[in-house]
């Protein structure tokens, strides 16, 4: 993988499925969670004016009625805790014009890569995601969320 841990929000080691959605609590530490999500809070200390690209990689075809809600959030606190006023949604991952942060399984015909550009002066970022089963298991595979100064559409 061409990324080091300083740019990986979700590392692709855990399968995202609605059956275990309760386990997918958003990260609250810069230490990588290794049991359920493979997620971590990244200490960016801001992005600068040119920003970064947040890249969501969904590796598998999911059941056509399921969906995945994915947001990139920023905060001044690593635990995204007391200062809820300062916690902001930076990126709403979507595809095909859906505006509420839902990736529909029908959009993942052979997997999916979504690239969203953002900039922030907030110190910490994390992903907050939830798979939802409507018709089956809601399995979206071992997805990854990466940060890159250079957005790309193919891996």
Taking the CA atoms of the chain, what radius of gyration do you get in angstroms? Answer: 15
Number of neighbouring beta carbons within 10 Å of residue 89: 12
**Nearest CA among 67, 42, 75 for reference residue 147:** 42
Q: How does residue 62 score in pLDDT terms, banded at 50, 70 and 90?
A: low
Return mean pLDDT, the chain.
78
Structure letter (DSSP) for residue 65: T
Distances (CA, A) of 17 to 46, 62, 104, 107, 127: 31, 10, 14, 17, 16
**Distance (Å, whole) CA 15 – CA 114:** 18
Structure letter (DSSP) for residue 132: E
Model confidence at 141: pLDDT above 50: yes
Per the confidence metrics, is the pTM higher than 0.75?
yes
Model confidence at 132: pLDDT above 70: yes
What is the pLDDT, as a whole number, of residue 120? 92
**Nearest CA among 39, 36, 50 for reference residue 8:** 39
**Distance (Å, whole) CA 30 – CA 48:** 21
Structure tokens, 138: 């809601």
The region that residue 54 occupies, defined by phi over 0 for left and psi between -120 and 50 for alpha, beta otherwise, is beta
Structure tokens, 133: 């089963």
Mean pLDDT along residues 79-97: 77
Mean pLDDT along residues 16-24: 65
**Distance (Å, whole) CA 35 – CA 49:** 35
What is the pLDDT, as a whole number, of residue 46? 83
Mean pLDDT along residues 112-118: 87
Structure tokens, 116: 């969203």
What is the pLDDT, as a whole number, of residue 119? 92
Q: Are the C-beta atoms of residues 128 and 75 closer than 8 Å to each other?
A: no
């Amino acid at each position: 993988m061409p990324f080091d841990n300083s740019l990986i929000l979700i590392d692709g080691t855990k399968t995202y499925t609605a059956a275990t959605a309760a386990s997918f609590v958003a990260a609250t530490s810069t230490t990588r969670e290794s049991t359920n999500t493979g997620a971590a809070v990244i200490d960016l200390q801001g992005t600068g004016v040119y920003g970064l690209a947040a890249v969501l990689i969904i590796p598998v075809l999911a059941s056509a009625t399921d969906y995945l809600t994915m947001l990139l959030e920023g905060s001044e606190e690593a635990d995204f805790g007391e200062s809820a006023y300062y916690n902001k949604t930076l990126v709403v991952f979507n595809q095909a014009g859906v505006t509420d942060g839902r990736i529909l399984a029908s959009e993942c015909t052979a997997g999916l890569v979504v690239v969203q550009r953002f900039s922030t002066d907030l110190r910490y970022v994390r992903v907050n995601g939830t798979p939802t089963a409507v018709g089956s298991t809601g399995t979206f595979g071992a997805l990854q969320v990466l940060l890159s100064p250079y957005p790309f559409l193919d891996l």
